A and B are shown apart, each in its own frame.
Chain A
């Protein structure tokens, strides 16, 4: 308390007000970031939509911005993104949930102390590294053992590695939801003669369901917005397909493709990356809001 006593007494009311203002303005930076993102995406997209109708953009099934005749139908990009996201879900949802159940219900304390930091490391690996891994490790592996004539750039490899990438997120959020299930519910089930697995599968997971579903949604939102992995491993061929062995182009990969070339400011192609960015932003924001809504709306009261 001595430090407090030694404080300069002349600090005035006005100083406090200036400090309040500085702090408030700092806090406004994050508000302005949101405003800036929306403003930039919308205003730059307007330049795009003056030349391409919204209908053609949203409903068109051809995306050929870099050669004549230009077509700006975003569906192949959205389709590519969703294909990779869907594949990642096949890996991340079961594995992420399984890991969460193991860590929250089964793992001895010593195993937890090793496994959780390792999952954090997995979450911290830069996405460009995952891209490298998909391209130089997973794709050759798939080509050798499963699909011998699959091309180098394909949605499958990107999707599988994307799934691995979002496991830590799905696992951590699901585990949080399960740890929050009170012990009294577990005891209630044990007292009726349930085995451990019955307690976990019939009481703990259903009780934590809102949190688990939110974890899935947020994980998939992350996959939709992920950039380098799909740019490196999934190809640059905008194509509407459900065949994971084909090369596709994700929305984010298109933005990178254009950014690489220092496309002149103000051209239609320059504006198109903002239109795609806006689409991406709306999709991920929608999913994040949905995730938060699920948590609030369906939160168990225990």
Chain B
């Protein structure tokens, strides 16, 4: 089912409600995510920004009792249509998590994991090298690809996880507070990398760090939760606009540090 959406959009969210069992975690979200830009989701903790992110690759399907109402369109097609397979969705939409989560395998096998399970028949070593180069990790690990991924530092592990996501050539990369477990130096390296990657990929970035959103993103959406703890969208726009000239009082209060 193809809906009319602007070709410049990769995701289009319409009237999205999200439930964990009886609890409504998100209500009435309407949002468009553009291609080849960095889209930041900000807001106080518990406002549902990670939940919203996980609606984009159906990771929420893994939670018993989770339920979606409304539409999430990916390239104009409904992600939650019955004929859509979540495995295919996740293969086309990469994800990077809060804490680096490399598998207890070698560096090489971590990056090769995605191409292998998805049946890539070409030269795996070439894929791994390309992914590691794009994640700006190749020079640091090229001589020890057979070593355990756990031998790497936290920042390196996170770049490895980014390389792992890049190796399957996704169209979009979802990042769930990718720097929250890293020190400032490693955070800067990841931020540079995100900017670099945005030349080729649409990136949706969840962050609790407003400075990071301001530094890195092109567009920003601000979420809050209402008195029943449901998350909702306050406002969304060009990052400069949101930070310099927010339309909503609550946004202004949040970004100036008077809230949350």
A300 interface contact, C-beta 8 A: yes
Return chain B residues, CB-CB under 8 Å to A193.
Answer: 87-92, 114, 117-118, 168
Q: B168 to A192, Cβ gap below 8 A?
A: yes
Return chain A residues, CB-CB under 8 Å to B88.
Answer: 193
In the complex the two chains form, what is the Cα distance from A289 to B117 in whole Å? 37
B89, B92, B117: residue with the most chain A Cβ atoms closer than 10 Å = B117
Q: B114 to A302, Cβ gap below 8 A?
A: no
In the complex the two chains form, what is the Cα distance from A285 to B97 in whole Å? 43
Q: B113 to A189, Cβ gap below 8 A?
A: yes
Q: A194 to B97, Cβ gap below 8 A?
A: no
A190 interface contact, C-beta 8 A: yes
Q: A192 to B103, Cβ gap below 8 A?
A: no
* Nearest A residue (CB) for B94: A191
- Which of A187, A195, A202, A300 is B101 in contact with, Cβ under 8 Å? A187
B57, B59, B92, B113: residue with the most chain A Cβ atoms closer than 10 Å = B113
Knowing A191-B57, A192-B113, A202-B117, the reply to whether A184 touches B101 (Cβ < 8 A) is yes
Return chain A residues, CB-CB under 8 Å to B94.
Answer: 191-192
A266 interface contact, C-beta 8 A: no
B99 interface contact, C-beta 8 A: yes
Q: B59 to A192, Cβ gap below 8 A?
A: no
Chain A, 197-222, contact with B by CB distance < 8 Å: what is the 0/1 string? 01000110011000000000000000
Return chain A residues, CB-CB under 8 Å to B89.
Answer: 193
Knowing A188-B101, A191-B95, A207-B104, the reply to whether A202 touches B113 (Cβ < 8 A) is yes
In the complex the two chains form, what is the Cα distance from A198 to B86 in whole Å? 14
Q: A192 to B164, Cβ gap below 8 A?
A: yes
Interface of B, helix, strand, loop or mixed by DSSP: helix
Return chain A residues, CB-CB under 8 Å to B161.
Answer: 188
Interface of A, helix, strand, loop or mixed by DSSP: helix
Return chain A residues, CB-CB under 8 Å to B164.
Answer: 188, 192
In the complex the two chains form, what is the Cα distance from A300 to B103 in whole Å? 10
Chain B, 26-65, contact with A by CB distance < 8 Å: what is the 0/1 string? 0000000000000000000000000000000101001000
B89 to chain A, nearest CB (A): 8
B135 interface contact, C-beta 8 A: no
Q: B97 to A184, Cβ gap below 8 A?
A: yes
B57 to chain A, nearest CB (A): 7
* Nearest B residue (CB) for A109: B64
- Which of A195, A206, A301 is B105 in contact with, Cβ under 8 Å? A206
- Which of A187, A188, A192 is B117 in contact with, Cβ under 8 Å? A192
Give 12 CB contacts A-B under 8 Å. Answer: A188-B102, A189-B103, A191-B59, A191-B90, A191-B165, A193-B89, A193-B117, A193-B118, A202-B117, A206-B105, A300-B150, A301-B150
Extra inter-chain contacts (10) besides given A191-B165, A193-B114, CB under 8 Å: A184-B101, A187-B59, A187-B62, A189-B103, A191-B94, A192-B91, A192-B94, A192-B168, A193-B90, A301-B104
User: Which A residues lie at the B interface, using CB under 8 A?
Assistant: 182, 184-195, 198, 202-203, 206-207, 300-302
> Would you list the 10 A-B pairs with minimal beta carbon distance, nearest first?
A193-B91, A191-B95, A192-B114, A184-B101, A300-B104, A188-B101, A193-B90, A193-B87, A207-B104, A198-B117
